[in-house]
Structures are given as C-alpha cells and as structure tokens.
Amino acid sequence: MKNKVLLSCLLMAGMMFTSSCEDQLKIDPTASLAPELVGPSDASKLLTGIYDALQEGGTNYIYLSYVTEDLSADNLVYRATFFQHGEVDNNAILTDNVLVSRYFSGPYVAIQRANDLIEILNTNASIAESVKKPMLGQAHFLRAYAYYKLVTLFGGVPIVDNRDVVKVKRNTEEEVYNKIIEDLKLSIDNAPSFTNNFFASAEAAKGLLARVYLIRKNFPLAKQYANEVITSNKFTVATDYNSIWAPPYKSSEHIFTLNFTTTEGSNSLSYFLQHASMPGGGRAELPVDQSLIDAYEPGDKRKEASVVQVATAPAGWYSYKHRDPNGTGGHPLYVLRISEMYLIAAEAQYLISNSATDAEALASINYIRTRRGLGELATLDLQKVIHERRVELAFEGTRWTDMKRTPSPTNPQKSLATVFLESKGRTANDALYPIPQSAINTNELLLPNNPGYN
C-alpha cells in the first residue's frame, strides 16, 4: 500500500513537471524592453535616448568629434597619443582612421533613434498633440543636427528612414542639406520655445537653420533666422566671456549645449585638450595652433578665457573653453550660441549688400566686438567676419566649415581651406573626410569615396 501511494505521488509529480513547461521558455529581459512593450507613453524616454546618442550613447569618443573641425583647421594641433588625431591635423586621413569611423557611425545612432521616435509619434493617433509636438520638434532638430555633423565632414551621405539592414547609397550633399532644412523647419513648427540650453528648442532649430543657410549661401534666410533668434530675447551676449565656459554652464549665451552630468561623467574632452597643470588636469594631446594665438587682437577678452599658456612640459598654449575644473567628466559640448547669430546676421547682411560700410552688418559685428573688449570696426569685409568667427567660436566645431565655404583673400578662386591645405602640401580633396573603410566594407554602395580617397 505504501508503495502504491508513493508511486502515484511520484508519477503525479513527474507529470506536473512534464506538462506545459514550454510556456516557461517565454521569458523577457529585465534591463531592456521588447519593442512591442514600448508605447506612446514611453516616447519621452526615447527622446532622451536621442540626446544620449549625440552626447555619448553607443559611440565611444564621439565627444572628440565636437572639436575635429578645429583640428582639421588651424585652431588645434596634434601632440600625442592618438595618431588618428595626427592624421586629422595633417589633413592626411586614412580610410582606416578609427576616430573618423566613429564620427561617421555615431550620428547614425542618433538619426535612427530619432527615426524610431518620429515613427511612433506619427503613427499613434492616441498621443495628444500637446504631448506629441514638443517631442517631434526636438527629434527633428536632433536628427537634423546629426545629418549636419555628417554632411559637413563627409559631404553627401546616405539618408536613412528606418533600421532595415540594407545597403543604402549616398545621397548628394544638396539632398542631405535639404533633408536638414526640412527637419529644422519641422522642428521650428513643433518644438517648444527655449527654456533650458540643455534641450533643443525652436530657437535652436532657427539658429542651426541660420548657419545652414549661410553655408548654402542663402543669405536672406540666414539673416532672417539669425535675427529671429536674436529678437526672441531669450538670450543675451555675455559681458563676461569667461563666464560662458564655467560651471554650471548655464550662461544666457547658450542656445543649445549637450550636457553631461557628473553622474554620467563621460566627457573627457577637457582631458584631451588641457595641460596637466590646468584645473581638472589633462593630457595635453591637442594644443592650440600658434596662428590662433596670433589671431587675437590686443585687448580681446576672449583670449584669456579661451587659451592658456603653460610653461612646463609639454609647454605651449592650451584650450581652456572645455573646462572641467573638478575632473568629473561632467561638462557640456557646445552646439549653438547667441553670439554666432550676430555674426551670421552680420555676414549675411554684408554679403547681401556687398557694402563695406553696411550699417546693419557693422552694427551686428560691433555688438559682439564691443562686448569682447575690442573697438568698433568702421568698415567690413568677409575676412573680418570670418576672423571674428574664428576667435569667437574657437574650439566650438565650426572653423573647418567656415574655411571651406569662404574664399581666400589672396586667391579668391580657392577657399581658405584649399589654400591652407595646399600650403601644407595637401590638396583640395582633403577638405572632406573619407567615408571610412569600415563603412565601405559593409556597404560597397558608398563607393566611390570622396575624391582623392579612392
């Protein structure tokens, strides 16, 4: 009897284990969500994810891309460690440069995260307009900025709308700029107006659009959008230039910065740029080009806020704009400032009127100069605006594009960049970065590469 009871218990237990365990194979992770579990209510988290992509998410060293224009141009030089920086500084980039490869792949992380969110927002009727619009506005701005980073370094790049694992061929430079303009206009229509420089706003979209129109030589619209930002009265040009770069990085100059909190602490740009003796320390890898030091006019308050001379080895001038006095890795990346809007307005107006004494243009540029401890200009020319941009926006990632789009005063057939390149024994082809070999390896449709890299 005992045996029979036990036996039946045993068989029952066995059957219990055996039956329908198959459902138990359906388990979900706890640090991620299945896409179908992410709904409209999670849209704001996905928006945060786009900021994260531009800031650090998914691409190591992406913060270095925020000064690569200065390194390609004449603002920074290469000293040590990453030889890939040396290639950029020498304008002799090889297609296997792993940093440039990150500068190419990094923005696509942001673009695709933006694509994901925009699709959710546009296909879910259940989301209230009041909730949808601010997010859509920010997503379009961030996507535009990612394409902006690509097109300025690489020229025409693929425009992608979704995550299908397919090979996409390159669009033309014009098509990419048109995509950027389209996104920025959608952003202006939807984004909230400015409240916090750590987040995208309609004003940030207008500011970037002004810069893009300037590059595209649409001067009336460049001026129009620059002026719209200025007249929004959300921003003021700082009287103390030094304060713009100091914690908590909330100067009224900033239209948009990508913030890094000390919790994240993953921005080491300061560490690359600064000398060990400077507050927060540093590795002195990318010192300042002497020509930039020479470019500061006497009395320019921007000089001491922007660069520091160090006598101990490795001696030289070092950038002081990317400050991290406590060495926490928590300092922002600069994207747009109000001062640039004045300079865009000045440049655009000058190029519209083509008058050296254009009062409106002079007023705009002198508005900045007088706040930087300098005297007013009586006459204007394009090189003076570009010079002003150089000292005002040094290490803010605009210099190489400025040089590429501006004719040389000595040889107007060529750009400043071309003349600069030829003086170093390079060619105009080196103005663009190569499409990285790693990207070509997975997508041969990216060929031909930019001229000179094939």
Partner 1 sequence: MKKALLYSFVLMLALVTQAWAQTRTVTGRVTDAQTGEGMPGVTVQLKGSTTAAPTDVNGSYSINVPSAGGSLVFSFIGYTNQEVTIGTQSTVNVRLSTDAEAIQEVVVVGYGTQSKARVTSSISTVQAAEIKDQPVPNVAQALQGRVAGVQVNSGSGRPGAPINIVVRGRSSIAAGNDPLYVVDGVILPSNSAATPSSAGAGISALANLNPEDIESVDVLKDAAAAAIYGSRGSNGVILITTKSGSKSDKTTVNLSAYSGVQSLTNTLDFINASEYRTLYNEARSTVGLPALFTPEQVNNPEANVNWLDEIQRDRSKVENIQLSLTSGGNSKTQFYTSLNYFKQDGALLNGEFKRYSIRTNVTHQLSDVFRVGSNLAISKSLRDETPVDNSIFSPFPRALVARPDQPIYKADGTFAVNSFNNPVHMFQSLNYVNLANIFNSTFIEANILPGLKFRSAFGLDYTYLDQRTYNPTTSLSGAGSNGSASSGYVQTQNILTTQTLSYGKDFFDDKLFVDATAVYEFQWNDRENNRVDGTNFPSDLTPYLTSAASITGGTASQTNFRIESMLARLNLTWEDKYLLGASIRRDGSSKIPEAGRFGYFPSLSAGWIISEESFLKNNEILNYLKVRSSYGTTGNQEGIGNFASRRLIGSGANYNDSPGLALSAIGSPNLKWETTKQFDVGLEFSLFNSRIDFSADYYTKKTTDLLLNRPIPSTTGFSTILENIGSMRGEGFDFQVSSKNLTGEFKWNTSLNVSTFKNEVTELYENQPINGSFVTRTMVGQPLGSFFLIKSLGVNPETGDMMYEDLDKNGVISDADRQYLGSPLPDFFGGITNNFSYKNFDLGVFFQYSYGNELYNLSAEGTGGYASLGAAATATAGVPVNVAKDVYEGRWTPENVNAEYPRIVGGAAGTNNTRRSSRYLEDASYLRLKNITLGYNLPRTLTSKIKVSNARIYLTGQNILTFTDYSGFDPEVTSDYTVGNLGVDQGSIPQFKTYMLGLNLSF
* Footprint of partner 1 (CB under 8 A): 2-3, 6-7, 10-11, 13-14, 17-18, 21-22, 24-35, 37-38, 42, 45-53, 55, 57-58, 104-105, 108-109, 111-113, 116, 158, 160, 163-168, 198-199, 259, 261, 263-264, 438-439, 441-443
Q: Which is nearer to partner 1, 9 or 359 (CB)?
A: 9
The residue (of 49 and 225) whose beta carbon lies closer to partner 1 is 49
Q: State in angstroms the smallest separation of the CB of 378 from partner 1.
A: 44
Tell me the CA distances in angstroms from 50 to 10, 136, 307, one per residue in order. Answer: 56, 12, 32
Contact 140, 50 (CB under 8 A): no
316-319 and 333-337 beta bridge pairing: unpaired
Q: Is 25 exposed, middle or buried (0-12, 13-18, 19+ CB in 10 A)?
A: exposed
Token readout for 291 is: 């020509």
Q: Which residues of 252-269 are buried (b: 16+ CB within 10 A; e: fewer)?
A: ebbbbbbbbeeeeebbbb
Question: What is the distance between the alpha carbons of residues 454 and 95, in angstroms, rounded to a whole number?
Answer: 9
Shortest distance, position 144 Cβ to partner 1, whole Å? 16
Smallest distance, partner 1 to C-beta of residue 65, A: 14
**Which CB, 4 or 231, lies closer to partner 1?**
4
Dihedral, CA atoms, 351, 354, 356, 358, nearest 10 degrees?
-80
Nearer to partner 1, 270 or 415 (CB): 270
Instruction: Select 14 or 412, whichever has its Cβ closest to partner 1.
Output: 14
Distance of CA 96 to the CA centre of its chain: 22
Least distance (Å) between residue 290 CB and partner 1: 20
Instruction: Quote the least distance from Cβ 50 to partner 1, whole Å.
Output: 8
CB of 410 to partner 1, least distance (A): 36
388 Cβ partners below 8 Å, 6+ apart?
A: 343, 346, 365, 368, 369
Nearer to partner 1, 325 or 412 (CB): 325
